Amino acid sequence: MSWRRSGVIFLLLACLLGASIVICTLVGPAGVPLLSLAGDESGATILYGVRLPRVISAVLVGAGLAAAGVVMQGLFRNSMADPYLLGTSAGGALGAATAIVLLGGAFSMPLAFAGCIGAAFLVYGISRRAGRVPVEQLLLTGIAVSMFLSAVLSFLMYISGESLHQIFLWLMGGFWTASWQDAWTGLLVLPAAVPLLLLAREQDILSLGEEDALSLGVDIELLKKCLLVISSFVTAVAVSIAGSIGFIGLITPHIMRLWVGPGHRILLPSSMMAGGILLVLSDTLARTAGNEVPVGVVTAFFGAPFFVFLLRRRYAS
C-alpha cells in the first residue's frame, strides 16, 4: 500500500476522530447551549465534568480493544480472535463482582484489572510446555479458564442478593460513572501501544507461520510473550474502566484491514483510531436513545450480525 494513500486514510481517521469527540461531547439528553457556557456554570459542569471525560474514556477504551484485537488476530492467525480470548473478560468480571459483593463496590476497578491480568497469566502458565507456548493450546486453555471463571462468577451472582443488578450492569459494559480518573487511566493504552508498533515487522512475519518466522530469524517465543503481556495489559485497562464490551476488537481490525491491508505498521494505529470512533459513537447512541442502555448492548446489536457475516464468508470460500 502506498504511503500517500496511508497518509490520506490517517488524516481522514484523525479528522473523524476529532469531529466525533467534539460532536459527542456536545450531544446529550440535557441541552447545553455552547455559546452561553461562559456564564452557565451548570452547563460547563455537564460538558467538562461529565461528558468530556466519558467521551475521552470511550475513545481510549475503543482504541485499546481494537489494538488488542489486531494483536490477537495476528498471533492466532485467526480472523475470529478477539481481545478476550485469554479469559481476560471473565477474569475482570470476576474481580469486579468480588468487589461489588464483598466490598460494596469499592476497589472494583483495581480488582477488575487484577482479575484480567491474573486470568491471562494463568492461561499462559497452564499452556507453557518446555519453554514453548503452542498457539492451539493457548486458545483451548483460554476457553477452559474462561468457563471456570464464569462458573465462579455465576456463584457470586447467585449469592449477591441486592448487588445482582449492579453486577449485571457491569457485565453489559458502559461508561455511566466515567470520570477524569478513568480518562487518565485510559491514557495507559497509548504508551502500551508503542512497543506493539515497534514490533510491527515481527508481527507481519509471524502471520506467515511460525516455521517461516523461525527461518527469518524471529524469536517467536519471546515475541509471543511480549504480545500476550502487552495485549493483556491493554485489555485489562479497557475492562477495568468500562466492563465487558464486545465486538469492538473483532470488527474494527476487519474493517481497517479492508482499507489499509494486513501490514501491522499501518493496520495497528488506524484500527486504534477507528475503534475509538466506533465506541464513542456507540456510547453516544446508548446515552441519547431515550432511557440510557449499556453500550455493550449497542455494540452487540451491530457486531453480532457482522460476526455472522464473517462466519458465512469464511466458510463459503
Q: What are the pLDDT digits (tens) for 116-165?
A: 999 988 998 888 875 677 888 888 899 999 999 999 999 999 888 888 88
Highest mean pLDDT of the ranges 9-13, 27-31, 194-198, 248-252 = 194-198
pLDDT at 181: 93
> Distances in Å between the alpha carbon of 95 and those of 40, 65, 86?
40, 19, 15
Burial tier of 287 (Cβ tally within 10 Å: 0-12, 13-18, 19+): buried
Give me the CATH code for the 58-316 domain, please. Answer: 1.10.3470.10
Distance of CA 251 to the CA centre of its chain: 11
Contacts of 293 (CB under 8 A, 6+ apart): 286
Percent of the chain scored above 90 by pLDDT?
Answer: 39
- Which pLDDT band holds residue 304 (cuts at 50, 70, 90)? confident
Domain coordinates of the chain in residue numbers? 58-316
Going by C-alpha positions, the residue among 220, 244, 204, 222 that lies closest to residue 71 is 204
456507540: which residue's cell? 282
pLDDT at 187: 95
